[in-house]
Chains A and B, each alone.
Chain A
Amino acid sequence: MMSGEFIAFMGIALVAVIGGVLLLNLSNVMHMMVALVFTFVSIAGIYVLLSAEFVAAVQILIYAGAITIIMLFGIMLTRHEDTSEAPGSSWRKFAVFLGVLGFAAVLYFGIYNLDLPQMENTLHEKNTMQIGEALYSKFVIPFELTSVLLLVALIGSIMLAKKDDEKEGDKE
């Protein structure tokens, strides 16, 4: 059972979960974001183990590279309180915690009994080319729609972040 793949999986999964737990437990908002960078990068490692190297590279490029940075900008440009805790709502937190725990238990029961036969696959051979061929033949209309969505998001976020009374807007 102790194959190299298993050791790699355990290491990466540990880093990912620790990053997530730190996100919940740290009090400083900046510290939370830096903890989350480790989670995002280790999720890219999980993709590599699942023979999805292109998705892994895109994961690092988009999540660790772009989304984290604009979130850091968001924290810097708005007023940052060092504590993110609401006073006097611990019973509500506990209820949420119980609910999430119940949800996790139900799903874990489903996963635990899952037994999938391992099939031969060719995902690791020319992974990028396979994705490209699928994108430009089978999924060409969703692909084009994505470009429209990104354009709308770009213009929309510029319009929203722009100041009403002044001429210059924030560039994202």
Chain B
Amino acid sequence: MSGVPASAFLSLALILFCIGLYGALTKRNTVIVLVSIELMLNAVNINLVTFSKYGMMPNITGQVFALFAMSVAAAEAAVGLAILFALYRNKKSVNIDEMDAMKN
């Protein structure tokens, strides 16, 4: 039990979350934006599992919640990609800044 402190895991999750956030805000390709969101969800899962072991009351609930988050993330990826295909058929582009039909 004397190995890695909880803050090390939390810092790693923070770094990955920031990478995902930056990628989601700056990348143009929609697939990469989707994947960056997945990376953010992953970072959140690391936090959940960390607190399930190192929290005030160690408990299995954190791991169960991480599993739920993963299944929702999988569904989100499938639906996101399907929307991307539908958009690509209409606009012939996967760049996220060209999808502004609602703007004007």
Contacts and interface: CB of A to CB of B under 8 A. Distances in A.
Given A51-B53, A58-B67, A156-B79, A77 B60 contact: no
Contacts of B2: 3
A123 B10 contact: no
A29 B68 contact: no
A50 B73 CA distance: 21
B16 A17 contact: yes
A160 B83 contact: yes
Nearest to A145: B68
B81 A157 contact: yes
Contact size range, A: 35 or more
Contacts of B93: 79
Contact of B75 (A6, A40, A150): A150
Given A9-B4, A131-B63, A160-B83, A63 B38 contact: yes
B80 to A, nearest CB: 9
Given A67-B38, A77-B85, A96-B26, A9 B72 contact: no
A55 B56 contact: no
B7 A100 contact: no
B74 to A, nearest CB: 5
Given A150-B71, A153-B79, A156-B79, 14 more contacts: A39-B16, A39-B39, A39-B42, A46-B12, A62-B71, A67-B74, A81-B29, A111-B11, A116-B55, A118-B1, A119-B56, A135-B67, A158-B82, A160-B85
